[in-house]
Amino acid sequence: QVQLVESGGGSVQAGGSLRLSCAASGYTYTSRIGCMGWFRQAPGKGREGVAVLYTGGASTDYTDSVKGRFTISRDNAKTTLYLQMNSLKPEDTGMYYCAADRRRDGCMVPSHEYWGQGTQVTVS
């Protein structure tokens, strides 16, 4: 069973930066994780894909609203996923979730098998 634990959320002023971390454990050969990503959910809205990383070739994808401001990455040990968020805007406010799945494409759709508990980001 894959476990994901997010950290790094908080409250910042517009224009500020935060770095979210997602510690992953419980991987096995049969886990065959194909992608990992960050998703967010604002109050009263659905969960949306923010950034994903495909484990095979390390390619990435971002939702248009964060391109040029957010960067998804993974450490060399492949146990921690990061989301560097710069030039934050009030519309970036929400609960941010880390997720992992066996799919190798289409991972911006939030139908992942494994989810963390979320970390709150508030931009004012």
End-to-end CA distance of the chain: 37
- Residue 55, judged by CB atoms within 10 A of its CB (0-12, 13-18, 19+), counts as middle
Instruction: Quote the mean pLDDT of the chain.
Output: 93
Residue 65 has pLDDT above 90, yes or no: yes
Phi/psi at 91 (5° precision): -70, -5
| CB 22 within 8 Å of CB 8 | no
Which pLDDT does position 78 carry in this prediction? 75
Which pLDDT does position 23 carry in this prediction? 94
